[in-house]
Each structure stands twice: as C-alpha cells, then as structure tokens.
Structure 1
Amino acid sequence: MQDTKQTSKLISFWLRHHPEDGNLQLDDFGWALVDELMQSLATKGQVFTYAEIVELSKSFDKVRWEFSEDGSKIRATHGHSIEVILDEKAVRPPALLYHGTSSNKIDAIKENGLLAMQRQFVHLSTESEVAISVGKRHGKPLLIEIDAAALAADGWVFYRTSENVWLTADIPVKYLKIEQK
C-alpha cells in the first residue's frame, strides 16, 4: 500500500515550490499536466491512476490542489513560493478575515505586520477557529483579526483559493487586531 500522505506532500512540494524536482513544467498560472505528474510519481515508485490522484485531492481538510475544467491539468491552490498568477481568482473579501500563528511571533508582527515570508502571499481564513488550529501547529496560538474591508478599500487584492483560504499581499499593522489565545 502506498503512503498517500507522503505522496500528497510530494505533489504539493512540486506544485508549490520546486516543479523542476518532479520534471514538471508549470505555466504562468501554476498549471502542470496531470499525465506528467503521474509519470513523475511513477519514477519515484508511486503509481497512481488519474482517479486516485483526484481522490487523493479530496482527502484533505481543505482544498490544496485543483484541476482544470477539462481535467488535464492540476495546480496548487495556495502556498506557492514560486511566482504564479492567480488573477482569475481575485474577489472582494468578507469584512473580517483571520490569521493564526504562534504567539512567539507577536513582537515581529506588531513591528512589521503580517508578511508572506517564503510564500507568495499571506494566508487568511474566514473562520477564527480554523486560524487558531493553524496557530496551534506552531505552538501557543496567536489569533489575528484582519480588517479586510479596509484593506480592500485601500487597494489590496484578495484571492479566494477555496471555501476557507484567502490570500493577499503583506498586511501592515494598522489593519490588524491581535489576540493571544
């Protein structure tokens, strides 16, 4: 039996950070051919059918990959450290969004705001509970409420990549309300 958790991490790594490690060619929008992905997995001894890749993509707690309308391409929905164009996903955000991180980051955030760091965008959630659970992965959680309405009014572009994942550029401190949990 194949280790699907390791396979999903490998696919995400290739689609988000290093497509060249999987011999994948991404277009400007981050799309790779599913056939090429399956061939790359096979060279690692991981043979998957198309249906199994689709099923694996549905096994996550949130959408991490998406397929093109015709099903021939796949891409990561968020978390990129490589530059991809997500303009077709730009939408007006809800008034408030949330970000969860570790409480040991509070001083840096109060000084610099929320920064994308090694990613292309800052990741946000519509639900405070989800943001807190993300923060718990890194230690004692820190919940940050973002005034998304004010950011949008001031020109920030937001991308909705799944039901609960929103992306935007670095966020200055003045748009943040910080709460330790």
Structure 2
Amino acid sequence: MNKRLTKISKYLSFVLKHHPEAIGISLDPYGYVNIEELVKSANASGKSITTEQVYQVVAESEEQRFALSDDRLRIRAV
C-alpha cells in the first residue's frame, strides 16, 4: 500500500473505530456506515478522499482492518 493509502487507512480507523462524530457521521448498530456518506463527510471535514480510494484501502489492507457489507455500499472497522 502506498503512503497516501496508508494515511487514508489510518484516518478511516480513527473515524470508524473511535470517533465517527469527528466528521459528523453515526454508525448503525453493527458498526457500518454508508461509504458515500463517509467520503462526503470526510471531504467536508477537510480530508480529500474518494470512494475508489476507500475500496482500494479495503482491498490492499494486509491487516484486513475493514469489512464491506454484502452489497459493498457500507464499511465498518473490524
């Protein structure tokens, strides 16, 4: 994983595991959030990430820190 994706992965971990309120999102009871909502809120909070980068982080993460819902529209920290 390149440096940019590593930074995004750490940011996603921070938001999804510890502080979703930091960017104004809330997780469902299973810890999932809509990826589009996550990206929109992250960008509004000053982080420039794309949906494609989120999918890349999930695919390339050796530690498998994230899981996608069956429909691939939501993400959660593992």
Measured against the shorter chain, the TM-score band is 0.7 to 0.9
Q: TM-score, normalised by structure 2?
A: 0.82
Match of 2:48 in 1: 46
| TM-score using structure 1 length | 0.38
Tell me which of the two structures has the higher relative contact order, counting C-alpha pairs closer than 8 angstroms and 6 or more residues apart. 2
Aligned residues: 75
**Unaligned ranges ≥5, structure 2:** none
CA distance in 2 between counterparts of 1:45 and 1:30 reads 21
One-letter amino acid of the counterpart of residue 13, structure 2: S
Q: Is the 8 A contact 2:66 2:76 kept in 1?
A: yes
Gapped regions of structure 1 (runs ≥ 5): 78-181
Task: State the identity as a percent.
Answer: 28
- Residue in 2 that maps onto 1:64: 65
Task: Tell me, yes or no, if structure 1 residue 16 matches structure 2 residue 49.
Answer: no
Matched with 1:73 is 74
AA aligned opposite 2:49: V
Partner of 1:36: 37
Q: Which runs of structure 1 show a deviation greater than 6 angstroms over 4 or more consecutive aligned residues?
A: none
* Larger-Rg structure: 1
Aligned CA RMSD, in angstroms, stands at: 1.6
- CA distance 1:54–1:13, shift in 2 (3 Å): same
